[in-house]
Amino acid sequence: MATLSEQSAESSAQLEGLQQEVHGLLSEITQQRETNSGTTRELVDARSHLVELQKQYASLDALQKAALGKQAGAVTTWLEEHDLDGMRRLAETLEVENGWERAVETVLGQNIEALCVDGVECVTDRLASLQQGTLSLFDTQAKSEAASRPVGIVLASKVQATWPLDGLFAGIYAVDTMDDALALRSQLQAHESAVTRDGIWVGPDWLRVVRGGEEEGSVLVREQELKLVSQKLDEADERLCQLEQTLEEGQFKLAALEEQRETLQGNINQAAHKNAEVRSQLSSKNARLEQVEARKSRLQEEIEEIRAHSEKGSEELVVARERLEIMIAEMTEHQEQRMLLGDQREELSAMLEARRQQAQSDRDTAREFMLRIDSMRTQLGTLTTNTERMLRQMGNLERRREELTIAIEDGIEPLETSKMELEEYLERRLLVEGELAEVRRQVEACDHDLRKLGARRSEVEQQVLVIRAELEQMRMAWQEIKVRRQTLQEQIDESQFALEQLIEEMPPEANEAEWAKQAEEMERRIQRLGAINLAAIEEYTEQSERKTYLDSQLADLNEALETLESAIRKIDHETRTRFKDTFEKVNEKLQELFPRLFGGGSARLEMTGEDVLDAGVTIMAHPPGKRNSSIHLLSGGEKALTAVAMVFAIFELNPAPFCILDEVDAPLDDNNTIRFSQMVKEMSDRVQFIFITHNKITMEISNQLVGVTMHEPGVSRLVAVDVAEALHLVEAV
C-alpha cells in the first residue's frame, strides 16, 4: 500500500505537469489559429484586390488597344502577316510631364498610334500589300538638324523618349494659357506654332482645337494609368505570394502544434489511466485490509467461542459416549421398526400419488365445467335476446298480414277493369309496333343518306383545311411584312423624321449599297471605341458556367427528389399493405384468445382514422355480462387480461424466443388465474416464459422455481428449485 501511495502521488504530479503543458499548447494553438485566420482574411482581401486590379488593367488595356488601333482590322492583319504586330506604339514610348498630355495628343493626332520602327525603308517595300486602312510609322533612327529660334519653351522639353522627337515637335512651343499663346502668336514664323496645356494649338494664321468624348479619355494618361496599374499588379501579386507562404507556414506550424497536442493528450490519457489503476488498486487494498481486519476480529471471537465450546464439548463427550453405548443398543431395536415403517411409507406414497392424480383430474374436470357453464350462460343471454327480437318480429308480421289481407279484398273489384284495359293496351301496342317498324325503315334510309353526306363533308373539310393552311401562311407573311413595316416606322419616328418628307427629299442618285458601306464604316469607327469593361465577357462566361453547373445540380436534386418520392410512395404502399395484413391477423387472434381468457365475451381492434399510417389503434373489449363503451371502464383484472390477450395474439403472429411477465396475475382472481395459467402452459411449447408471481396457482405450472431470500441483512441470494426433481425427492421420501 505504501508503494501504491507513492506511485499514485508520482502519477498525479506527472498528470498535473502534462495538463499544464497541454494548456500552454492550447493557448499557442488558439493564437496560431487566430494568426492563420487573420492571414486568411488578408489573403482573401489581397486576392479580391488583385482581381479588381486585373479587371481595371483589362479594361484600360482594351480601351488603349482600341485607341491605338490594335483591334482586329485590315491594318492589324497586315501587321501580323509581316511580323510587325510586336512593334511598340509611339504613345507607349513617351513620358509626358504631368498636365501636358492633352497638348501632346493634340499635336501628335493620328501619329500617336504610329509604329516605332528602325528605319522606314524596311517597310516601304511591303506597303503595296496594304489595300485598306490607315498606317503611321515613326522612324526612331532619323535625325533632324533643323533648329528653330528660341522664342519660348518648346513642347519637346515636356516629353521624354529614348530617341529624338524633333521631327514631331519641331517649331512647337508650350505655353500655359490661351493669353500666352495669343501674345506669342505675333512672333511665330510660318512653320512655328504654340500649344496650351488644355490642347489649344495656335499658329501664325490658324488655330486648332481637338475635343473628344469623355468616354475616349487621354491615351497618354491612360498609358500612365496602365503602367501604374501594372506596377500595382506586380506588388499585389508579390503580396499575395508572401501571404500564401505565410499562411502555409502558419498551417504547418498549427499542424505541428496539433500533433504535439495529440501526443501530449495521449500521454495524459496513459498517465490518467495509470493513475486510475493505481488508485483503484489502492482502494482495493484498503477495502481488502478492512475486510481482513474485520475477518481477523471475527476469527478471534470464533476462536474464543470454539475454545469455550471445546472445553464444554470435552465434558459433554464423556457423557455422550455413555449415551452412545445406550443409543447403539436402542438403535438395533429401532432398526427393525424402521424397516417396518419403510414398507408402510411406500404404501402410503403410492396412495398419495393416486390421490394427487385424482385431485388433478378433478380440478381439470371442474375447470372444464366452469368454462362450459360460462359459455352456456353467454349462449343463454344471446338466445334470450334473440327470442325477444323474434317475438317482436312475429308481432310486426301479424300486423303486416292483416294489412295485406285488407289490400287483397279491396283489389279484387278493379281486377276485371284492369283486364279490359290491358286488352285495349295490347291492341294499341300492335298498332304502335307497326308504326314503329315503318319509322325504323325511314330512319335507316336517313342514316344511309347521312353517311353519304358525312363522307362528302369529310372531303369538303379536307379542302377547307388546305385552304386554311394556305391562308394562314399568307397571314403569317402579311404579319411579318406588317411587323417589319412597324419596325421601320418606329426607327423613323425615333430619328424624328417624317416618312413622306424623307421620300420627297431623298436624292435620285441614292444607292443602298453605298449607304450600307458608309454605315459599315461608321460602325467600325464606333467599334474602335471598344467596350468600357471587357472583363464583363469573362464574368458572363464564368457566370454562365456556374449557371450550367447549378442547373445540373438542380436536375440531380429534382431526380433525387423524384426517386425519394417514388420510394416513399412505394414504402407507404407496402407499409399500408403489411400493416393492414398484420392488423387483421392480430385482430383475428385477439377475437380467438379473449373469450378463452374471460370464459366468454368478445374483443376486437379498431382503427381511429381512415389513413392507416396516421390512424391509431384502439381495443374494444366486452367481457361476459358487460356492455362497456370504453376499455377505461374495465376493472384492473379485466384490463390485465385484455392486455395479456393482446400480447399473446401478437406472439401467435410473430413468436419471440422468450416472454417475460412481471406479476401479470396479481389483480386476477382464482378462476381468471386458472385460465391464464392454462393458456401460458399451452403456449410454453412454442415460447419460453419467465414470469414473476406470488400466486401459488401460477407457480404450479412452472418447471423451474427461482426464489429470492435474504439470509443475511442486506445480502440477497437466489434459491433455485427444479419442480420435477423436487417431486421425485418427495415421492422417494
pLDDT at residue 179 greater than cutoff 80:
no
pLDDT for res 94: 66
The set of cell numbers assigned to 341 is 415403517
90: buried, middle or exposed (CB in 10 Å: 19+, 13-18, 0-12)?
buried
pLDDT for res 554: 92
pLDDT for res 558: 92
pLDDT for res 277: 77
Domain ranges for the chain, please list them. 74-219
pLDDT digits 0-9 by tens, 526-551: 777 665 566 667 778 888 888 988 99
pLDDT for res 216: 45
Question: Rounded CA gap, 584 and 591, in Å?
Answer: 10
> On the CB side of 432, how many CA atoms lie within 13 Å of its CA?
6
Q: What are the CA-CA distances from residue 106 to residues 94, 126, 148, 183, 371 (Å)?
A: 14, 30, 20, 20, 126
Most confident of 37-41, 113-117, 318-322: 37-41
pLDDT at residue 463 greater than cutoff 50:
yes
pLDDT at residue 601 greater than cutoff 80:
yes
Q: Determine what percent of the chain is predicted with pLDDT higher than 90.
A: 3
pLDDT digits 0-9 by tens, 393-442: 788 778 877 777 776 666 556 666 667 777 777 787 788 878 888 888 88
- Please give the full DSSP string across 512-545, using - where no structure is assigned: HHHHHHHHHHHHHHHHHT--S-THHHHHHHHHHH
Q: In terms of pLDDT, which residue wins out, 160 or 580? A: 580
Mean pLDDT of all residues in 503-522? 79
State the helix-helix crossing angle for 2-67 and 512-528, rounded to 10 degrees.
140
pLDDT at residue 72 greater than cutoff 60:
no
pLDDT for res 127: 57
pLDDT for res 161: 66
Cell 308481432 found at: 395
Assign 128 a pLDDT band (cuts: 50, 70, 90): low
pLDDT at residue 145 greater than cutoff 50:
no
Q: 620 φ, ψ to 5°? A: -100, 105
pLDDT for res 416: 67
Helix extents (H) in 660-722: 670-683, 696-699
pLDDT for res 150: 44
**614 three-class SS:** coil
Helix (H) and strand (E) counts in the chain: 15, 14
pLDDT at residue 657 greater than cutoff 60:
yes
In this prediction the pTM is 0.32
pLDDT for res 213: 45
Among 79-93, 355-369, 420-434, 490-504, the range scoring the smallest mean pLDDT is: 79-93
pLDDT for res 470: 87
pLDDT at residue 147 greater than cutoff 50:
no
pLDDT for res 557: 92
Looking at every residue in the chain, the average pLDDT score rounds to: 76
Among 288-292, 371-375, 411-415, the range scoring the smallest mean pLDDT is: 411-415
Question: Rounded CA gap, 600 and 638, in Å?
Answer: 13
Instruction: Give the torsion sign (CA, 342, 343, 344, 348).
Output: positive
pLDDT for res 140: 60
